[in-house]
Structure 1
Amino acid sequence: MKTHVAIVGAGPAGLLLGHLLRAEGIECVVVERQTGDYVLGRIRAGVLEAITVNLMERLGLDARLKAEGLVEEGFNLADGERLIRIDVANLTGQTVTVYGQTEVTRDLMDAAPERGLPVLYGAGDVALHEIESDAPYLTFTHEGRQERLDARFIVGCDGFHGPSRKAIPARVAREYERVYPFGWLGILADVPPCNHELIYANHERGFALASMRSHVRSRYYVDVPLTEKIEDWSDERIWDELAIRLGPDAAAQMTRGPSIEKSIAPLRSYVFEPMRHGSLLLCGDAAHIVPPTGAKGLNLAASDVHYAAQALTGFFKAGDADAIAGYAAKALARVWKSERFSWSLTKLMHRFPDDGPFERAMQVAELDYIATSRAAQTSIAENYVGLPV
């Protein structure tokens, strides 16, 4: 098999890039290790920045997003005594949209056949070869056969554990990482949200988040030590803990119900450089991880895809090799700013085990400053809604 661009990974990043390239008439094939049902079964974030919404609009795949997505004009920080509302729309003139990552993936997946985007699910033993040449290729097994896919470029959209990043030689690799001493215990339930906007809560018992997927489906989180086990957390225990951490006003509006999904996700900040080596480009979690505080993961992947699509289109349609050469610098500039925001919001809203009275006093002072400063709120709003691409 031959194509212009081989894309590894059929999550939202890989599918979005494939659709953008096909819209420009550029041949590409997406190779995915898992089945389509497995990909759709992964529960992920659901707050979309303008960049993600705009890309779906550009592709004409935003009908369900517009019909079912919830436009959010602000969000809240809770400090145990009050809600500090960040009026994103007023401060920036923009909004975010609540629409599950699973639904974005479904929209992209469903449109692939009619848009002429080949997606090979269930591809095993994917390996990248000759990425430092102008003729890289993939090898993998598919439907019981050994396959080879030759391309001009390979784009790794295969997440943190995929083979793409590992194909870059160690001699050029640089890794930056911060592992956090807690995870987020999440519960998904078919109940109405306790507030029409997200609430990030800093309580003496720990962090909590009240969010939603729709008017009738809610997603809640509490932070827990990494030693905790999901089987020790009954639905009742989680609801009780949420009611305490979110405060009495939110608790009074909270509807309890059986969980349809529970999990504990570890938190880390991670960046890999370079995001391009030879004929290989990296997008999304293959190159960086952000803690979920601030909902940057999917949106950062979307901005990577935006830059990658621009670069590849420039190369194939205008012969612009400089577009490929400039991809990593453009992508990383936005990556590091998003990493900074997610890291700072995580530090502000969580109690770290090693923190003492001074660190807690700094959190209190920062939250009080945010509550009384339009400038501080504007800075948060600009980062939350998404920095320009």
Structure 2
Amino acid sequence: MTHYTQVGIIGAGPAGLLLAQLLHQQGIRSVVLENRSRERVESRQRAGLLEQNTVDLLRQAGATDRLDQQGLVHDGVILSYNGQRHRIDLAKLTGGSRVTIYAQTEVVKDLIQLRLNTGEPILFEAEATSIDGLDGNEPMIQYTHNGESHTLICDFVAGCDGFHGISRQTIPESLTTAYDNVYPYCWLGILAKVPPSTHELIYAYHDRGFALHSMRSPEISRLYVQCDVTDTLADWPDERIWAELQLRLGTVGWTLMEGPILEKTITPMRSFVSEPMQYGRLFLAGDSAHIVPPTGAKGLNMAVADTGQLFHALMDWYQNGSASELANYTACCMRRVWRVQEFSNFMTELLHHNPNKTPFEAQLQASRFNQLITSQMASTVVAENYVGLAAKRASEAQQSVNFHV
């Protein structure tokens, strides 16, 4: 069976769903294809920190009713080095920008409900099997749904289907440059049924390894400890987790409250970038094009930033008949992507214990933290990157690529 739309969107994560909603508000038709079930999509635990720019774009999309009620707004963040803490005043150092704690799971639920309310197509358990005709005016997505094969013909394809999705794999390997960095440690994360022991996030370096105290709600804490790449969940009984968190997060006059652990996961630490983020009429957004280690809390926010850029480019095409922003999509996105990669790498290297470091490199690491304590300028740089850099339009990009219509 053959169907027609203007924008075919592969992936019902934050990027794909947000793009669909923004396009709908402007009268642009789209179809969202997701290979997992709705239940699975709405239950995946992911990031929980939203930059100011992310909140602003979600508000533009009309997706902040629950966020405004349940989101936890933070004006600062705490960095700790072997028990010595330093608070970075985000709002003061950035002219009022803040971050909001609101789980990606909840963002996805909100966007799915908005999509269902519109009555526009969102197909779960619909697997895209190929993308064809990207050099022409009518690219085609072949997919299966309910045991039947379908063809979706569209003007443009938005590949929002993550690192393992079909979209990036469709770009010829000969045209792609990939950059990859795997860190020699992982994160073990838990959800605990206990009120947070802090009002703001604590990122902690300790000689035994990194730890992070975050939260999901006033009743649920989200915590992480650095672990070895060979570790499994069996290596981390609840007692060991709490003992390490107490040690790595501990400081004089502060108590970490403990409670029942509801969930445990181990997350590898990796950076990845694939260029270009476009090929013909295919445009990548989010994890399909780049991955960052979670230390800087940038994964979801990068996906939303891509979405905003792609939305503006598509609107320039549909409203003005101009392909200039589409042509410069990769160039504009990449400036932000590499800036975020550098910040995430900085935070990761600053806060983790790397057994492969020489004593000289370990002293440099301590010196970098000391600079944050003693230099307002250094803290300002961290604050500006943490709350999210201002979005750049494609018209400001310094490079361009060929785009034929």
Which category of TM-score, normalised to the shorter sequence, fits these structures?
over 0.9
1:6 positional shift: 0.4
Local SS of the residue matching 1:248 = coil
Where does 1:23-38 land on structure 2 (aligned, <5 Å)?
23-38=25-40
Aligned to 2:42: 40
Q: Which residue of 2 aligns with 1:282?
A: 284
In structure 2, the residue matched to 1:173 is 176
Q: Deviations over 1:227-268 (max 9, x none)?
A: 001122111211111101111348x43221222211000011
- Hey, what does 1:257 align to over in structure 2? 259
The 5 A counterparts of 1:63-212 are 63-92=65-94, 93-212=96-215
One-letter amino acid of the counterpart of residue 47, structure 2? A
| Ranges of 4+ aligned residues in structure 1 off by more than 3 Å | none
- The match for 2:14 among 3, 12, 15 is 12
SS of the residue corresponding to residue 10 of structure 1 reads coil
Give 1:233's aligned residue: 236
Taking the aligned partners of 1:132 and 1:177, their CA distance within structure 2 comes to 28
Matched, 1:218 2:221: yes
Q: Match of 1:53?
A: 55
Size of the aligned set, in residue pairs, is 388
Q: Separation in 1 of the partners of 2:128 and 2:327? A: 29
| Cα distance, 1:169 vs structure 2 | 0.4
- TM-score w.r.t. structure 1 length? 0.98
Distance 2:340 2:135 in 1: 29
Distance change (3 Å), C-alpha of 1:81 and 1:114: closer
Q: 1:308, 1:327 within 8 Å by CA — same for their partners in 2?
A: yes
Check whether the contact 1:16–1:108 (CA below 8 A) recurs between aligned residues.
yes
Instruction: Calculate percent identity across the aligned residue pairs.
Output: 47
Counterpart of 1:330 (choices 329, 332, 342) is 332
Contact 1:195–1:253 (8 Å) recurs in 2:
no
Deviations 1:338-364 (A, max 9, x none): 111001110111111210211110111
TM-score (norm 2): 0.94
Unaligned runs of 5+ in 1: none
Distance (Å, rounded) in 1 between the aligned partners of 2:56 and 2:360: 43
Query: Is the contact made by 2:18 and 2:61 (CA closer than 8 Å) also made in structure 1?
Result: no
For the aligned residue pairs, the C-alpha RMSD in angstroms reads 1.1
Deviation of 1:55 after TM superposition, in Å, equals 1.2
Cα gap change, 1:36/1:268 in structure 2, threshold over 3 Å: closer, same or farther?
same
Give the Cα–Cα distance (whole angstroms) in 1 for the partners of residues 16 and 252 of structure 2.
41
Structure 2 letter corresponding to 1:36 = R
Report the equivalent of 2:342: 340
Q: Deviations over 1:169-219 (max 9, x none)?
A: 011100011111111000011211111101111100000000011111111
Where 1:114 maps in the other structure, the secondary structure is: helix
